[in-house]
Amino acid sequence: QVQLVESGGGLVQAGGSLRLSCAASGRTFSSSAVGWVRQAPGKEREFVAAISWRGSSTYYTNSVKGRFTISRDNAKNTVYLQMNSLKPEDTAVYYCAASSSRVYSDSIAWNSWGQGTQVTVSS
């Protein structure tokens, strides 16, 4: 199983940027699709972005397209989420998740989760 640790969250003003990192341990990470999922207070978890095992395919929820970019460096066992033009509605705990699948699909099962990192966007 893959162990995941997120970092990079914080407090930022609307319009600002943050870069989240997800550091992984486990030999299967480089063959895993990885995603970011967020949960705002009082709301269900929401898919944000995902990247295939080689990084050749990326997927985004509509509300972050054009603002967020997911990438990965398998040599460093790390996945990144660059978040630009942040809005107050992006405020949430952001979780990194890994799957035994190599590519993302709507029915993907996330097998491993990080502990989450808080992102707060002030207006």
Q: What is the token pair recorded at 43?
A: 């709301």
pLDDT tens-digit profile of 53-94?
Answer: 999 999 999 999 999 999 999 999 999 999 999 999 999 999
Q: What is the pLDDT of residues 5-40, one digit of tens each?
A: 999 999 999 999 999 999 999 878 889 999 999 999
Given a contact cutoff of 8 angstroms between Cβ atoms, the answer to whether 64 and 48 are in contact is yes
DSSP state at residue 55: S
Q: Which long-range contacts (CB under 8 A, 24 or more apart) does 44-52 make?
A: 45/95, 46/92, 48/81, 48/94, 49/81, 50/104, 50/108, 51/79, 51/104, 52/102, 52/103, 52/104
Strand 10-13, strand 117-122: pairing: parallel
Largest pairwise CA distance in the chain = 41
Q: So what's the pLDDT on residue 34?
A: 97
Instruction: Count the alpha carbons within 13 Å of 120 in the hemisphere toward its beta carbon.
Output: 5
Q: How confident is the model at residue 1 (pLDDT cuts 50, 70, 90)?
A: confident
